[in-house]
Structure 1
Amino acid sequence: MRKTADLTVDQKTTIDTLHKEGKTQKVIAKEAGCSQSSVSKHINREAKGRKRCGRKKCTSNRENRTLERIVKQNPCKNVGEIHKEWTAAGVSASRTTTHRRMQDMGFSCRIPCVKPLLNNRQRQKRLAWAKDKKDGTAAEWSKVMFSDESQFYISFGNQGPRVWRKRGEAQNPRCLRSSVKFPQSVMVWGAMSSAGVGPLCFLRSKVNAAVYQDVLEHFMLPAADQLYGDADLISQQDLAPAHSARATSTWFKDHGIPVLNWPANSPDRNTVENLWGIVKKKIRYARPNNAEELKATIRATWALITSCCSAGAWNTADNRIEHPFTVALVLGCY
């Protein structure tokens, strides 16, 4: 049997109609398919004109609008600070009431997303770039080979898998996640396109123009041959000093490879960043102990991604890309 709060609109209509006809509550309950107590409570509530129970709110709509304005102006303040500012505006309410009103307005405390710091000039350039690229077709974007470097660490800080443990096992070595002050790391260069991913390059030194050109010569060109063959391609890279150096631009011109125009400070538009995130998420569970194990894990994960690309088996439900250049369209155009 349903409770009064669970009555459907049809049941409530049936109860009201039969009650006006003078039917007994037993008959009404049978016709409506609910308990007799539910019928009785609904009839009594309608007779008394009671729409809801509970104490009247201690704050007015105007005071609630003041709170909403305070939250929007200071979204990074905690509940205590917001409550103090709200009461300073002449509102008499407790900290719990402040928190409850914020929840009623739809506010939730969440970890903020991290985005590049942009000035107005950079924003305008990003907007102009998006407008210029918004009409790009899938065939045009499939010619673009996205590439970038990424740093991989053995320790992932607070990220990583959770652990199942019993009470008193918090210090059990089996339940601990190790941390070091200066974790070993490796710098990796990789490339991807609608045709799949290319070979990885593990960098041993700081990336300057000379090192980057060696990477292009020994890894980018083989990746282009692997992914495109004799077809035309467009290389994508960000505006890091090694990428935007005059010698690097000359290298691309000498090899006849066009470079995609790219707005400054825009790593969030690069599809390969999504791929790095996928790889880092998957290697968290491997827990490598040194740099060589970390490299082996990255290679193994990258090899799996290569087979997924060639088979077209990317799945967004598994936090993977549905199709490589689908994200290029989404992140690159909008």
Structure 2
Amino acid sequence: MQLSAVAAEEVLQITRSCNPTTCPLDPIPSAMLQTISPDLLPFSTTVINGSLTSGHVPTVFKKARVIPILKKPALYPSDISNYRPNNLHDPNQSGFKAAHSTEAALLAVTEKLHAARSAKLSLVLILLDLSAAFDTVNHKTLLSTFRSLGICGTAWEWFASYLDGRSYQYKRHLSTTSNSQTPNSTMAKTKELSKDTRNKIVDLHQAGKTEPAIGKQLGVKKSTVGAIIRKWKTYKTTDNLPRSGAPHKISPRGVKMITRTVSKNPRTTRGDLVNDLQRAGTKVTKATNSNTLHRQGLKSCSARCVPLLKPVHVRARLKFAREHLDDPEEDWENIIWSDETKIELIGKNSTCRVWRRKNAELHPKNTIPTVKHGGGNIMLWGCFSAKGPGRLIRVKERMNGTMYHEILSKNLLPSARALKMKCGWVFQHDNDPKHTARARKEWLCKKHFKVLEWPSQSPDLNPIENFWRELKICVAQRQPQNITALEEICI
């Protein structure tokens, strides 16, 4: 594969499109080059095509000059970390420009969003993570990718030549302020070498080059080159090895003690742990205890509210689980689950978190108004299966045995037909006295409805509870103002 030769017209067009600026590496200004480009055009075209056809990039074209400048004028000039690698400012750049702070950028974006919304226009906002913007790509990996894409021959050799033997010159920038100092390379702490540079050091070492030659070629100290090579010989990697860091304030024995304490009694407070460790001779803060337990996979959470279970309830639930442990999925798909629930007009239908400042917990924006008895509510009965929701109705009168019998007679069989339940489907309801009354059992038996035996005190086992939760969250988001609106949202 070969790269296509360029025409003289293309070279002329590119030359004329260059900015009329000067380049430290080129003694001829761009403006002058554009003026004499018709005379130089045959020679320029020959040089470019010679490079493309031979697969070789001249070394003079692989040099660069870096003139770092301070990120901000007030920063200390002798600290190398206070410099940026270039002095080019994009017109849309906000950082490191006078009167162009990050806040200014956010205000500009917000203004554009408001303007688009006012004009009823669509606006696309793309957020980029630039944390890895200066990460380098290993040249071997890049060239290998080229081969996998079918780039070979002199075309591949041209790219390899372009990437090999690149160099740059570093020019120190002298500040004009009275207390100016020239940044030097003898700082106590220097920037860590990139992964690509470390890999290059190993590659050159394997190619037979000496440490001084590698350091000179890459602009890295000989001692640094030697340290990287020794690390590679010992650990077969150039990655950063785990660092020890500061020693933990709590000894391994103390960690075991507090872990054992909270495992035995999960309601132990951080203050109790501080006192336990202090009695053992270790003085730490509550935050240290939290961090230590986090490393052990433990974190503080709100205790879940669950039904109060007596031993008889536990045995019944365990028996139910064992009896249905090996039931196939098809059996569960053939069950109609049912239950009742109460939806409050004003109440905690769902949890709500707010962002607030300290001591602002009683501000109206940060509170949820409540009234006695929820300000009104509606009672719902509903059912569903794996195939979808069945009927959902409002119970307008007080729920009793007669009312429940009427609900089942009017809604259970139509729901089963709408859901297209298979022959032999099973009905589930809990052990509420209205459900288990003799009259209800006889009616269900007369209609030949199979009923799933249900353990007492087990509302959490019914999957319809998830349905009720989603419904209450929806109600809280819609914020109905009266019972009629509440019913419209639910039904």
**After TM superposition, is the score higher than 0.5?**
yes
Q: 8 Å contact 1:161–1:284 — kept in the other structure?
A: no
Residue identity opposite 1:127 in structure 2:
L
CA distance in 2, matches of 1:109, 1:28: 55
Deviations 1:239-260 (A, max 9, x none): 1121122221112112111101
**Equivalences for residues 61-140 of structure 1 within 5 A:** 61-88=252-279, 90-95=280-285, 96-140=287-331
Contact 2:381 2:392 in 1 (8 A): yes
Q: CA deviation at 1:12?
A: 11
Deviations 1:65-87 (A, max 9, x none): 00111121221233112222333
Q: Distance in 1 between matches of 2:453 and 2:255?
A: 48
Give the number of aligned pairs.
Answer: 290
Displacement, 1:229? 7.0
- 1:215 deviation in Å? 1.4
Give the unaligned 5+ runs of structure 2. 1-133, 136-190, 232-240
Aligned-partner residue type, residue 76 of structure 1 = R
The separation in 2 between residues aligned to 1:131 and 1:193, in whole angstroms, is 22
1:304-323 matches, cutoff 5 A = none
Partner of 1:207: 399
Q: For residue 211 of structure 2, what is the aligned residue in structure 1?
A: 23
Equivalent residue for 2:144? Answer: none
Q: In 2, Cα distance between the equivalents of 1:217 and 1:106?
A: 52
1:151 to 338, 342, 347: 342
- Shift in alpha-carbon separation, 1:80–1:214, aligned structure 2, 3 A: same
Q: CA RMSD in A?
A: 4.1
What are the equivalent positions in structure 2 for 1:270-309 lying under 5 Å apart?
270-299=462-491
Q: Write the letter of the residue equivalent to 1:93.
A: K
Q: What's the TM-score once normalised by structure 2's chain length?
A: 0.50
Q: Provide, for residues 93-113 of structure 1, a one-character-per-residue CA deviation record: whole Å limited to 9, x for no partner.
A: 222332322222222222233
Are 2:224 and 1:40 aligned?
yes
**Are the counterparts in 1 of residues 338 and 384 from structure 2 also a CA contact under 8 Å?**
yes
Q: 1:17 to 1:93 in 2, by over 3 A?
A: farther
**What displacement does 1:114 show?**
3.0
Cα deviation digits, residues 207-230 of structure 1 (max 9, x gap): 332221121112223222322378
The 2-side partners of 1:93 and 1:281 are apart by 45
1:316 is aligned to none
Shift of 1:4: 4.7
CA positional deviation for 1:6: 8.2
Match of 1:57 among 229, 237, 248: 248
Question: Residue 141 and residue 56 in structure 1: after superposition, are their counterparts in 2 closer, same or farther (change >3 A)?
Answer: closer
Larger radius of gyration: 2
Relative to structure 1, the CA distance from residue 102 to residue 162 in structure 2 (aligned partners, 3 Å threshold; closer, same or farther) is closer
Is 2:383–2:390's contact at 8 Å kept on the other side of the alignment?
yes
Deviation at 1:174, TM superposition (A): 7.3
1:222 equivalent in structure 2: 414
Query: Given the superposition, is the C-alpha separation of residues 15 and 297 from structure 1 closer, same or farther in structure 2, using an over 3 Å criterion?
Result: same
Change (3 A) 1:257 1:68: same
Shift of 1:24: 4.2
The DSSP-based 3-state class of the residue aligned with 2:418 is helix
1:187 matched to 2:379? The reply is: yes
Q: 1:253 pairs with 419, 442, 445, which one?
A: 445
Instruction: Name the CA shift for 1:237/1:29 in 2 (closer, same or farther; >3 Å).
Output: farther
Query: Does 67-76 or 178-187 show the bigger shift?
Result: 178-187
How far is 1:127 from its partner? 2.4
How far off its partner does 1:236 sit?
0.5
Compared CA separation, residues 53 and 190, structure 1 to 2 (3 A): same
Q: Separation in 1 of the partners of 2:258 and 2:217? A: 45
Higher RCO (CA < 8 A, seq sep 6+): 1
Instruction: Quote the Cα distance in structure 2 between the aligned partners of 1:289 and 1:140.
Output: 42
Quote the residue 1:244 is aligned against: 436
Pairwise CA distance, 1:181 = 3.1
Aligned residue for 1:313? none
Between the aligned residues of both structures, percent identity stands at: 24
Alpha-carbon distance between aligned partners in 2 of 1:16 and 1:74, rounded to the nearest angstrom? 59
Decide whether the 8 Å contact of 2:211 with 2:225 is kept in 1. Answer: no
